[in-house]
Chain A
Amino acid sequence: MKPREIRLSTTPTAEDIAALRLGDIVYLDGLMYTAREGVYMRALEEKANIPMELPSESAANFHCSPAATIRPDGSFNMGAVTATASFRFAKWLPEWMAKTGAKLIIGKGGMTSRDYKQYFVPNGAVYLTTVGYGTGALLGRGVDNVEAVHWHEELGLAQAMWVLKCNRMGPFIVASDLEGNCLFERENERIAQNLDRLYEGTKPAVLKRYGETDDRSDELI
C-alpha cells in the first residue's frame, strides 16, 4: 500500500492536524523557522526577544542547520537542508511550544510517546520527521527563498534562526498523532519481537560496562 500524500500549511488549522495519521507523507507550504539548542537557550534561558511573530507567521519549528552561507552582499546561498536528531531538545520544547504556539515540530528521529502525550497533545501539535535521513537536496529544492537569518552573529550559521519560505517542501513523514502515538515506537515494537531469536547463541561480554546495569555496585563481570 502506498502512503497517503498531503500538502499542509506551516500555519495549519486544528482540523488539518487532526486529519493527519501516522505514516502519512507531508509536503509543507509557508514560512518555517529553524530552532535548535542555540535558539532555545537564547530565547528561553537568556530571555532574548524572539525576532518573529509566532505562531501567526509560522507554527513550524525545524530542528535543522542548513548547508548555507551568507554572501558578502548579505544575500543567501542555500544548498541542502537536513534535520538533526530531536530527542536532544526535549528539555526546552514544552516551554518553547507554550511560548510560540508551534504546532509542527520537524526533525530527525522523533520524540518519545511520553513527550507527545505530555506536551504535544495538550498543545495540539504533532511531529513530522524528515526522510532518509538526508534528503537534503530534495528539501533544499522546496525552499523558495531565505526570508531572514536571525542571531547568526551570536550563534554562528549552524545554530542561527533561519526563516525559510517553503513551497511543497518535503517529503516529511507524520511520526506522532493527537493521541500521542509514536510511529517509531510502533516500528520498534514490531522489530523487537525478532531480537531474542537474533541474539540466540551470543552471550554478554565477559567484562560488563556501567550503563548495561544501573547498579553502580555491580562488579561488572
Chain B
Amino acid sequence: MISIDLIQSTAETLMDKAAIEIPEDYLDGLKAAAKTEEGELSAFVLDAMLKNYEAAKEDRRAMCGDTGTPRWYVKMGNETQIEGGPIALETALRRATANRTNGVPLRPNRVHPLWRTDHNNNVGIGAPEIEYGYEPGGEWIDLITVHKGGLFGTDYRMLFPSDGIEGIKRFYLDCLVAFGKRGLACQPAIIGIGLGGCKDTCMVLGKRAACLRVVGSRNTDPRVAELEDELKELGNSIGMGAMGFVGKNMVIDTHIEVGYCHTGGMQMSVHAFCLSSRRAVARIFADGRVEYRTDPDWFTDYQRRETVEWEPVMEAAE
C-alpha cells in the first residue's frame, strides 16, 4: 500500500523541480547546440538561456514566467495499491498542483475557455490532466509531471499512405517553419511526432514523444530511429535558430512514436517541447522509498506492445 500523504508531498516536490530545474539531458543538448551556433543573435540567445537555467536554480525561481499547463502522467506496477484508492490519488495531485502554483510560484495559466474564470491555482475542469499507464509486475507508482507550454508549436494533419515519407517531411517542415518564425515555438525544442493511431491518440503519442522521452533516446524500431535522425537533421538545416533568428539549431532532438491506424490513413501530429522543457519524475515504493529522476522511461516494451498477449504469457504457452 502506498501512502497518500507521501504521494502528495512527492508530487509537490516534483512541481517545484519541473518548474525550476532544467533536465540534464536537455541541458546537455542545448550546451552542444550553443557550441555549434554561428548565428550572432541566435548564439546570444542560447548563451542567455544557459545563464537563465543557472539563475533559476540559484534563486529557486521558475525558469520561465510562463510555467505552462501542469499535467500528470501516472504509471503503476500491476500489484500497486494506493491508500484511499484512485480518487484519493487524483485529489492529492490536484492539491499538489494548486499548492505549488502558489508556492513556487507558478503562473496560474488555467482559465475557463469561454468565461476566462481563473481559480489562480491551475486547477479547474479537466485541469490538471491525469493520464495513466501500467506495467507488468511490481508495487510502485511513478509520478511524472510535465508543464508544457500551451500555445504554439503543435499541429495535426491527416496524411495518407500516398503522401509517403516525403509527405511526413513536408508537414514537419511546415510546422517548424510556421511556428519557428519569431520564435513562437520557443526553440530549439524537443520535437515529438505522433504517427498513426486515431486523431486523438495521434496527438497523445506526439505529445508523449516530445515530453516523455529524453534527448538522445531512439525508438526501438531501427527504421523509425533512422527517420528520427533524418528529421532531426532536416530541422537543423532550415537555417533558423532560436527566436527565429538566422541560425542552425532549431531542434535539440526529434522523437517519433507510432500507433496502429486506419488502413487508409497516416495521421501525423507535431509537438514542440520548449527551451524550458519542464518535466520531473519520482518513483514511490510501498516501503516508503522515493527515487527522483528526470527520465520518465514511459515507452517501455510493454507500452509499445504489438500482440494480443503480453510476452511472458506467450512464452509460458510455448
- Which A positions have Cβ atoms within 8 angstroms of B? 1-3, 23, 25, 38, 64-69, 77, 79-85, 87, 108-110, 129, 131-141, 156-159, 171, 173, 184, 187-188, 190-191, 194-195, 198-199, 201-207, 209
Contact A206 B163 (CB under 8 A): yes
Q: Measured between C-beta atoms, what is the minimum distance from B166 to chain A in Å? A: 5
Please name all residues of chain A whose beta carbon is closer than 8 Å to the beta carbon of B117 when the two chains form the complex. 156
Contact B170 A203 (CB under 8 A): yes
Given contacts A140-B59, A203-B170, contact A132 B48 (CB under 8 A): yes
Q: Measured between C-beta atoms, what is the minimum distance from A170 to chain B in Å? A: 9
Name which of B45, B48, B66 has the most chain A CB atoms within 10 A of its CB: B66
Contact B45 A132 (CB under 8 A): yes
Contact A141 B177 (CB under 8 A): no
Contact A173 B162 (CB under 8 A): no
Q: Is the interface of A mostly helix, strand, loop or mixed?
A: loop
Q: How far is the CA of A129 from the CA of B242 in the complex (A)?
A: 13
Given contacts A65-B107, A67-B65, A156-B108, contact A133 B183 (CB under 8 A): yes
Which residue in chain A gives the minimum CB-CB distance to B106?
A: A67
Contact B275 A132 (CB under 8 A): yes
Contact of A202 among B116, B169, B240, B245 (CB under 8 A): B169
The digit string for B26-56, where 1 denotes a CB below 8 A from any CB of A, is 0000000000000011001100110111011
Closest 10 CB pairs of A and B: A82-B65, A156-B118, A134-B64, A202-B170, A109-B182, A137-B56, A80-B62, A136-B64, A136-B65, A137-B55
Contact A188 B65 (CB under 8 A): no
Please name all residues of chain A whose beta carbon is closer than 8 Å to the beta carbon of B152 when the two chains form the complex. 85
Q: How far is the CA of A201 from the CA of B240 in the complex (A)?
A: 20
Contact B67 A67 (CB under 8 A): yes
Please name all residues of chain B whose beta carbon is closer than 8 Å to the beta carbon of A201 when the two chains form the complex. 166
Contact of B63 among A23, A83, A136, A156 (CB under 8 A): A136
Q: Measured between C-beta atoms, what is the minimum distance from B185 to chain A in Å? A: 9
Q: How far is the CA of A201 from the CA of B169 in the complex (A)?
A: 10
Q: Measured between C-beta atoms, what is the minimum distance from B109 to chain A in Å? A: 6
Tell me the B214-250 residues at the A interface (CB within 8 Å). Answer: 234, 237-240, 242-246
Please name all residues of chain A whose beta carbon is closer than 8 Å to the beta carbon of B243 when the two chains form the complex. 129, 131-133, 184
Contact B244 A188 (CB under 8 A): yes
